[in-house]
A = this chain, B = another copy of it.
């Protein structure tokens, strides 16, 4: 059977990769779906990268790390929490296990009788999306927090410039302002 792990992956960092490695190692015969949440979002301070760019990051990192058995699926938000489990079940291939550290995700899936596990977060001080986005904007040390394959991809799409613009511009960022 399959497990799922949902995140926004803005960007996909080394903490994510380590969790994927452990989940795959613990249940090698299960498939794993990496659900790319808030897939419709991009070019905002919280969600700078498109779903497609996040897919590419994850794909490159998994190939470089020789982790197989994973599928990557974008999940656009619906705004209705009470229907979220039904929505994810209809969108993703069949799964019976959910990996999450988000208490609401846990609550919603447990109410629907899924097995839910909370994989230990890895070095949360270093591997945390908001911090890495801030480092990208500040041209700081973001490279050490992401897999090398992600670092080179982020450079190829000028991610530091994008983040600097998105985090520096405050509330004047929404296009029609």
Point out which of A52, A56, A83, A105 has the most chain B C-beta atoms below 10 A from its C-beta: A83
CA distance A176 to B7 in the complex (A): 5
What band does the interface of chain A fall in when counting residues whose beta carbon is under 8 Å from B? Answer: 35 or more
Contact of A91 among B50, B89, B93 (CB under 8 A): B50
B interface footprint on A75-86 (CB within 8 Å = 1, 0 otherwise): 111011111111
B173–A104 CB distance below 8 A: yes
A7–B177 CB distance below 8 A: yes
CA distance A67 to B101 in the complex (A): 35
Q: Does A65 contact B (CB under 8 A)?
A: no
Contact of A81 among B35, B44, B85 (CB under 8 A): B44
A90–B50 CB distance below 8 A: yes
Contact of A90 among B37, B51, B104, B174 (CB under 8 A): B51
A175–B71 CB distance below 8 A: no
Q: Does A149 contact B (CB under 8 A)?
A: no
Please give, as numbers and ranges, the residues of chain B lying within 8 Å of A92 by CB-CB distance.
51-52, 55
Q: Does A165 contact B (CB under 8 A)?
A: yes
Contact of A94 among B56, B81, B107, B166 (CB under 8 A): B56
A-B contact pairs, 18 of them (CB 8 A): A6-B175, A38-B174, A41-B81, A42-B82, A43-B81, A52-B91, A52-B92, A52-B93, A59-B93, A71-B71, A73-B74, A74-B91, A81-B175, A85-B86, A86-B86, A86-B87, A101-B172, A104-B175
Q: A40-B79, A104-B165 are in contact. List 15 more A-B contacts (CB 8 A).
A: A37-B174, A38-B174, A40-B80, A41-B80, A50-B91, A51-B92, A56-B94, A59-B93, A74-B91, A77-B176, A80-B87, A103-B172, A103-B173, A104-B169, A107-B162
